[in-house]
Structures are given as structure tokens and as C-alpha cells.
Chains A and B, each alone.
Chain A
Amino acid sequence: MEPFKTFTGLVAPIDRSNVDTDAIIPKQYLKSIYRTGFGPNLFDDWRYLDPGEPGDDHSKRRLNPDFVLNQPRYQGAGILLARKNFGCGSSREHAVWALTDYGFRAAIAPSFADIFYSNSFKNGFLPVQLPEQVVDTLFQQVHANEGYRLTVDLENQQVITQAGDSHAFEIDAGLKDRLLRGLDDIGVTLTEAADAIRRYEAKRTQQAPWLFPDRQA
């Protein structure tokens, strides 16, 4: 996984709360068996005027000129600014894959849905939680200033504006460390915990043998 340290990028605002993962990547694209290629269908229902299906040539579809990501000033955006409970609904990790495939590296919102939040960290995508008033201010600034960029500094847990204002954010130390180092969770667990898992299984097979029909003599 690509480590995340500091990222500076153009900010695109999605000004609604409870943006669900069905909206981020509609279900028809979940039929893919790959991890990549979801970018053209990020926010598909909002982004295009005509319906799309997997396999379509999405560059030929009619864009909705009113949708934020279609406006010239937000081309090349790397940070998504959102409202509360972003990423709610289905557990589909495809939502994060679509965001990263499109080119986003981070999202800033007052809150994120639980599963979306943990999925993000597995993909080098940083969900930054800031207080609602701060997010309000950022929305005002991004609307008012074309080319509005922010820097997300994970090491120091700060979101920094071009004017030099900074907003501190909280993050779980373990998640931060994994993201900073770009670690492969499975590799780490297998290297560091394989013995502990075996010990647990041995003990648990004694305590709750009905859970281990495969280990019964």
C-alpha cells in the first residue's frame, strides 16, 4: 500500500450530508472482479445525465454540468470536502477504490460512517475528521476561492490552508502508523501474531469446542 505522509491538493466540495456508498459507486459497477477502473463511475448517478452500465464507454456519456466534479475549476481535485456521515450505507470497499482511482487521496468531513472509515485506511486514503464549524468555514472558502488547495499533514495531524491557518485533527495512533508506513496489514499480522492466533485457537478449542468441529478428534 502507498504510504500517506503529507498531501497537498485541489479541494472539491460535495455539499450534502449522509452521502452513501450507493451514491459514491452505484451497484451495477460492483460486478467487477477487479480493484481498479472505478474512477470513471465515481458518483455516477450525479455525474452523468444518462444511465451507465459496466462496459459502456463512459467518455461518450453526457456529463451533468451542474455536478461539482464536472466543473472546470475542480478538475484534478485530490481532496474531497464533505458533510457529516459520509460513506454511510453498504460496506462496499469499491467506494474507496472509486475515490482513489479518480485521484482523491483524502476526504475531510465532520464524521464518516464506520465501515467506510476503516476501508479507507486499507487503501492509503485518509479520512480526516474536523469539527462541523471548521468544515463549514472550509466550505465557504472553497466556494469563494477558485483553485482552493489544502495540505493534509498526517504526521502532525494538521489540515493547513494556503493562508497558513491550520486545523488539528484526531486520529487513532495505530491507524496513523500503518498509513504513514504504508504497511500491508495481513503481512504484519502473520509475522507478528501467527503464534498468538494459534495459542488462542488451542485455548478456545478447549473452552468452546463446538466452535471448532474441524478440530475435533
Chain B
Amino acid sequence: MAGKTLYDKIWDAHVVEDYGDDTALIYIDRQLIHEVTSPQAFEGLKLAGRQPWRLAANLAVPDHNVPTRNRENIEDPVSRLQLQTLDQNCTDFGITKIEMLDRRQGIVHVIGPEQGACLPGMTIVCGDSHTSTNGALGALAFGIGTSEVEHALATQTLILRKAKNMRVTVRGHVGTGITAKDIMLAIIGKIGTAGATGYTMEFAGEAIQDLSMEGRMTVCNMSIEAGGRAGLVAVDDRTIDYVKGRPMAPSGELWDQAAAAWRELVSDADAVFDKEVVLDAEDIQPQVTWGTSPEMVVPVGACVPDPADEADTSKREGMQHALKYMALEAGTPITDIKLDKIFIGSCTNARIEDLRAAAAVVRGNRIAVNIKEAMVVPGSGLVKWQAEKEGLDKIFQDAGFQWRDPGCSMCLGMNPDRLSPGERCASTSNRNFEGRQGAGGRTHLVSPAMAAAAAIAGHFVDVRKFVEENTEAAAL
């Protein structure tokens, strides 16, 4: 019999009841809760007179609506009510919550691993598709809808259909200046936004092993943009080192026991995947999206593609539509695209290493005159605190960036940070859908270093050349 994949192992360990037909009642170890997708679930519990099954499995934090400045005074009454509703529900049911003004507050997918609330081998859910971020820990983590939030609260389980297994192997090592974000955008460019629909993706290969835990989180974060509901990376020393000592991680004897068990969280050598995708790391260039879907992506050295070259009618129409929305001409070099705003933040790229990478590019430079606004929004209060300790806030502010408080911010514009119609933004977030960052706004997805370089140049540049030239200039 063939061995098991990592996904099979975690799945099997969580089956409460097997319903046959690949459907099972699966136990949920951890549920993360935020203000947007939970109110109706709590309301459902109240209406049915039900209590959460296991309080300690839940952890709540506000993030989507939270303003990134002056948060003591939330102007928008609708946002305020939603935040108050989360407070009230957590109080009513006794659920642990990180308060908005707590230093540990941040984007739900950033604080989970940071607090050690998310551990290897767990099943982790949250009413948010980017829950997949936690897959970097070797945990099965995926987004759910509000009815499932209620189901998980009330029963600590979900009725799930097992996904198929996909392995994405990134062979070899990436060149200098190529980040986790570029790797993932290249994967999505290759397989498309529905490429992994129905699959759990396991990311493997040297280039993935080379990544830090934070880089792996960036990759797993965007599994959903490839159509996969969950992404996974096998546990190794880096995983275990990362978890050790986190506030909610086990300690003492339990730690030893846990760490030993976590070492088993790898796919067996003879495991068979339903689908295999292979990329060569050395081919991966810095990536920039040009359209309104994450799969509309090209290397920074390329030009905006021409729909006329696309044989598939529906794809061609999609491209035409996207070009119109993005106000771009086919054939324009990516490096000729001028920007209005720069956003460095989101659950994809707002951890400390992301900010360090951006700061390294920004250091000693000024943002270009055509950039109306450039902002850095740390993923959590602890990331912000760490960055300030390292003086990164100064580097950004000296260059003309705004230094904000943690939250989802301009990733989706549910709070005051957003694009105005027609504005063009280099963003380190994960979605470039129409209107995602504000109605009529135009989003280009890039890595933090690429966003930083674009802020200085005022248009896209290849961050590798940019760094070279700037170091030469500094040396003169």
C-alpha cells in the first residue's frame, strides 16, 4: 500500500466519524474568530440556545474593520457596531479575545502562529479564506463560511469532504532578490486561479525548504488564490524552532512529547499525489500582476500581454475586460507602469521579515513625487513593536511612508484605508480583484521589496537592478 501524504495523516487523525464517500465528521482543534464573519454565527447559537462546545479551542481578534490610526475613536458607526458585537459575543459566551488596543492585536492569520495558538498537526479554521496561512506550520488550516463557524463553535467539528492531494515542488534554489511572494505568484501564474480547486496543496522542494517560516506562510496564504482550500509545508527543524516558546505553545514535558510527534508530520516517501506540479526555482523572476485576477501575472521584465495572442475566447475576453479596468495597453513594459499608492501590509506580507526586506530597499531614499501615499501596516502589534525596536519605522518615515497601526487596512478597504477610483497601487496583499482595495481602484500584487522599490522609483522596477544601482551610487 502506498504511503500517506501529510494531508492524509492530519485528516486521518481528526476523523470523528467516517460517513463513507470521502466525507467525514472532522474534529477541529482551533477556531480563530474575527468580527466580520462571526456575528451571524453567534446569533444562530443564541437563537438555538446553544453553547460553544469547547471554549478553549477558540480565540478571537478584531482586524478587518479596525482603523490603522486613531482607533480609539472609530468614526464609522457600522464598523463600530460590528466591533462591539464581537466584544459582546465573546463576553456573553466566555471566548478569549485579544482586544483592539492590546499590543498582541493584529491580523488574525498573523497572530495565530505568533501566539502559538496554531500548532503543527492541528486542524485550524476561521471564517476567512486566508486561514490557509497556518499550513506553513504543517497544520491543516482552511477558511469556512459563517454557517460552518457556527457549526464548529457548537460541535467542535465540521462535516467535510476530503480533498485530493496535490504536490507543488519548487526545485532548486531561487536567485537573489526572489521572495516567497514571487514563488507563489509564479505558481499561480502557472496553474491558474482554479488550478488547485478540490485539492490540498503541499509545497515541497529545496526552494520551499529554504524559506523561513514567514516565507512559507506567504506561500500557504495564497493557496486559496490558486483555488486550493488549504496549503501545507512539511514540518522540519525550522517549524519546531519557530513554535518553541510561543505564549500558547506547549512547554516542559508536553513540549517534548509534542515536538516528537510533530516530526512525523511529513508525507511518506512513497505517498502518491493525485496531481504533481513542478517549477524550477532558478526560472522565477520578480512577479507583478497586471490584471484583476492573481493568475494575470508576469515577470517584471515582461510587457503587459496582448489578448490577441490568447486562443481561448473566454480567456481573451477576460483579459480585455481586465485591461480596460486596469487602464493598461497591451505591450506596455511593466516597468513603465506608474503608481499612485503603495501598500505594504496584509496577512500575506506584513510580518517582520517582510518589513525588513522593504526597509532594506527604502533605506536612505525618498518616495517618488508622483506617489500620493505610501503606507506600511504591520501585521500585528508585536510586529510593529519589533520593527520599531529595529528602527524600521524611522527608515520608512524618513522616506515618506506612513507608519500605521496593525490591521487588514488597505488589503480590502473595509476600514478608512482605501484606493479612490482610478488610483493605481503596488500592493503586497493577495487579491487584485476589481474594487478590492476600494471601488475603481487598480491593484498590482508584488513582494514587499518590489513594492518598496516601486515607491522610490514611482513606477515598477526590477528590485534586483534597483538595489545594485543604489549600492553603486552609495559607494561612489
Chain A residues within CB distance 8 Å of chain B: 16-18, 20, 22-23, 26-28, 30-35, 45, 51, 54-55, 83-85, 88-94, 96, 111, 113-115, 118-119, 122-123, 172-174, 185-187, 189-190, 193-194, 196-197, 200-201, 204, 208-214
Contacts and interface: CB of A to CB of B under 8 A. Distances in A.
A197 B27 contact: yes
A123 B129 contact: no
A187 B50 CA distance: 10
Nearest to B40: A35
Interface in B376-431: 412-414, 421, 431
Interface in B15-41: 16-17, 19, 21, 23, 25, 27, 29, 36-37, 39-40
A59 to B, nearest CB: 19
Given A91-B127, A196-B16, A196-B25, A115 B151 contact: no
A38 B146 CA distance: 15
B159 A174 contact: yes
Interface string B236-268: 000000000000001000110110010000000
Contact of B146 (A16, A23, A93, A212): A93
Contact of B413 (A17, A27, A194): A27
Contacts of A187: 48
Contact of A84 (B39, B194, B293): B194
A190 to B, nearest CB: 6
A20 B129 contact: no
B433 A185 contact: no
Interface string B149-191: 0110011110101010000000000000000000000000000
B352 to A, nearest CB: 26
Contact of A186 (B27, B150, B250, B257): B150
A189 B155 contact: yes
B439 interface: yes
B438 to A, nearest CB: 9
Interface stretch (B51-59, B99-107, B342-350): B51-59
Nearest to B198: A114
Nearest to B152: A186
Contacts of B317: 16
A150 to B, nearest CB: 21
7 contacts: A16-B318, A23-B434, A23-B435, A31-B65, A35-B43, A88-B227, A208-B258
A211 B122 contact: yes
Contacts of B433: 20, 22-23, 89
B145 A118 contact: yes
B414 A189 contact: no
Given A31-B79, A31-B82, A91 B128 contact: yes
B40 A33 contact: yes
Interface in B119-156: 119, 121-122, 127-129, 143-148, 150-151, 154-156
Nearest to B15: A200
Contact of A189 (B25, B29, B39, B258): B25
A92 B145 contact: yes
B23 A197 contact: no
Contacts of B198: 114
B435 A26 contact: yes
A91 B17 CA distance: 25
B157 A189 contact: yes
Nearest to B22: A172
B228 to A, nearest CB: 8
Contacts of B27: 197, 200-201, 204
Nearest to B80: A31
B254 A85 contact: no
Contact of A197 (B16, B78, B144, B163): B16
Nearest to B127: A91
Nearest to A96: B145
A93 B44 CA distance: 14
B81 interface: yes
B319 to A, nearest CB: 11
A45 B258 contact: no
- Considering the complex of A and B, which 6 residue pairs feature the smallest CB-CB distances, nearest first? A122-B147, A214-B56, A93-B145, A119-B145, A33-B39, A210-B250
A63 to B, nearest CB: 16
B197 A54 contact: no
Nearest to A18: B293
B193 interface: yes
Contacts of A26: 435, 439
B155 A174 contact: no
A33 B81 CA distance: 8
Given A91-B37, A185-B147, A213-B56, A33 B155 contact: no
Contacts of A194: 155
Given A33-B81, A45-B435, A211-B122, A17 B143 contact: no
Contact of B154 (A16, A118, A190, A208): A190
Contacts of B150: 186
B321 interface: yes
B459 interface: no
A209 B260 CA distance: 13
Contact of B16 (A91, A93, A190, A193): A193
B38 to A, nearest CB: 9
A27 B50 CA distance: 29
A210 B54 CA distance: 15
A17 B227 CA distance: 14
Contact of B21 (A83, A111, A123, A173): A173
A55 B434 CA distance: 22
